[in-house]
Amino acid sequence: MRLEVCLLLLMCLSWPAAAQQLDRKPEGESDRQAEWQMDGQQAQDPNRPLQPVPAGDGNTASVYAYWADRVVQIQVVDLQSQSKSGIGSGFIAGQPGWVVSNYHVIAELANQPGQYEAKYLTEDGRSGRLQLLAVDVVHDLAVLLAEGLETQPLALSSAAPPKGTRLYSLGYPYDIGLTIVEGTYNGLLEKSLYEKLHFTGSINPGMSGGPALNPAGEVVGINVSTAGNQVSFLVPSGFVARLIADTTGQAPDQDALNAMITRQLQHNQQRISETLLASTEPVTTLDGYTVPGALADYINCWGNSQQDWRDDLSQVYYRCQTQDDIFLSGALYTGVIRYQHDLLSTENLHPLRFYRQLEQRSVYPQLRLDGDEQSVTNYQCQTGFLDESGLVFKSTFCVRRYLNFTGLYDSYLTLTSLNEQQAALQSTLVLAGFSWANTERLGTRFISSIRQGAK
């Protein structure tokens, strides 16, 4: 279950395009970055009083009046039908004529540049072509070059505002014209793999990529997703600053774009794997078995048990998953970890009947990943007995490869313990977008941390 709902209306399929490696420090401070830092300096001291809106009294109307011209609508146009296939929002940042938006808004352009083009439309009726300059798929960001748009950039806030600060989110919801939405800033989202800000304002489809401004008119975050009922999420503007600093102004070709995205995904999976492998093994007990528990704070776990009133089978389960994912195309989300443990037992069933039940449960994958023919290969599987920590499992390991991002794999590891006549543990680990080495390391760790007997 994905917590968030992407804001973009009509998303299409396919594979992605690119940005620069995230942890890389910008080589020297460009004028652009200096400019951004200058703009940001005012907000750096969290104790300083908030700057009033330059145009007036800080109310919504004046925020709108003062900054609306820096927010554009982005349309992704299908070249064959000559009509828009997706819409979103964007804003000028970094340099005059540079538009920042969400990666998911322009993913089609990155994936199939021959089939789509992107254009901007301003509130006062100007429009022009957009060219992709850089992307950051991990934080769902993109920088585009807007032809013929000379509007000055919005400043980026460099520090998080105090919780409760009023923010103004702008964008073009449902293609009904530029809209401003008021809400409050509620801090960083906890238990999140990819930093996000919690904003209580109604962000709606089409507003993706639009800015959320503080009363001083600085961009605090970028509209990215919503969980409904005024629970919305923003990408912190710090990531925009980093991406802008790494953007050269040269449009990359398709291979360069894929290489850029691959680097970002590789770096991201390495970061996740290292934190997971470095953590002490948090375990939980499941009716006599010790199994991997919530391995990190961004992994959310819940469990329950049930006794089938008709069948002589009881089930205790424990399910964990990361709360976020990385959008690569309408058919491919990555950067996900899911695992679950099901302890099944019976009072009276003959072992042959009991294991037949387990077999039937194993045929259909309990955890699923997206993916289409354009983005991944078919799964290849192997199965066999596994003997680890004194426990014997029947194990199936399936793995598939990303077609456009070399060295990244989705994997599906499922284990059924063969230890008792009338009880068995079925554990499954799903990793999306990990390197082969990390898939192996995380898989080995997962297997070896399952033990019989309480901790």
Partner 1 sequence: MNTELNVGANVAADTGMTGAGTQRQDSDRRGILEVFNRSGLLLQRLRWAGERVTVGRAYDNDVIVSDPYVCPHHFELRIESGQPRVHDLGSVNGTYLGSSRQRIQSADLDEGQVIQFGHSQMRLLQDGGALAPTWLDSSRHGLLAMLSKSWVLLLAVLSALAVLAVDSLLDNAAPPKVLTLLLDMFYPLLLVLAWSGMWALINRIVAHRSNFHVHLTIALLGVTVEFLTTQAVQLVVFAWDWNAALGWASWVASSAVLFAVLYAHMRYALHGSARRQIWVAAVMSLFLFGVPAAAGFIDRNNFSSLPQLAPLLRPPQYRQVDGQNAAEFFQRAENLKSRLDEAAQEVRGHRED
Q: How far is CA 122 from CA 143, 199, 302, in A?
A: 17, 25, 46
**Smallest distance from partner 1 to CB 114, Å:** 12
Cβ-based nearer residue to partner 1, 136 or 325: 325
Q: Please, which residues have CB within 8 angstroms of residue 380's CB and are 6 or more apart in sequence?
A: 398, 399, 400
**Smallest distance from partner 1 to CB 352, Å:** 6
Q: Rounded CA gap, 28 and 79, in Å?
A: 40
Coil, helix or strand for 83? strand
**Smallest distance from partner 1 to CB 110, Å:** 17
**Smallest distance from partner 1 to CB 314, Å:** 11
Q: Is the dihedral of CA 65, 67, 70, 76 positive or negative?
A: negative
**Smallest distance from partner 1 to CB 265, Å:** 16
Q: Rounded CA gap, 336 and 29, in Å?
A: 34
**Smallest distance from partner 1 to CB 4, Å:** 21
Which residues contact partner 1 (rule: CB under 8 A)? Answer: 308, 310-313, 346, 348-349, 351-360, 362-365, 368-373, 376-388, 392-401, 403, 409, 412, 414, 416, 418-421, 436, 440, 443-444, 447-448
Please report how many Cα atoms fall inside a 13 Å half-sphere around the Cα of residue 353, on the Cβ side.
9
**Smallest distance from partner 1 to CB 276, Å:** 16
Cβ-based nearer residue to partner 1, 9 or 349: 349
From the list 367, 408, 398, the residue with the least C-alpha distance to 16 is 408
Contact status, residue 89 vs residue 207, Cβ threshold 8 Å: yes
**Smallest distance from partner 1 to CB 277, Å:** 14
Cβ-based nearer residue to partner 1, 204 or 273: 273
The structure tokens 């006549």 sit at 421
How far, in whole angstroms, is CA 85 from its chain's centroid?
22
Give the sheet arrangement for strand 283-286, strand by strand: 283-286, 289-292, 451-452
Q: What angle do CA 235, 241, 243 make, to 5 degrees?
A: 85
From the list 376, 405, 369, the residue with the least C-alpha distance to 17 is 405
Cβ-based nearer residue to partner 1, 174 or 436: 436
Q: Which helix (H) or strand (E) holds 392?
A: strand 391-401
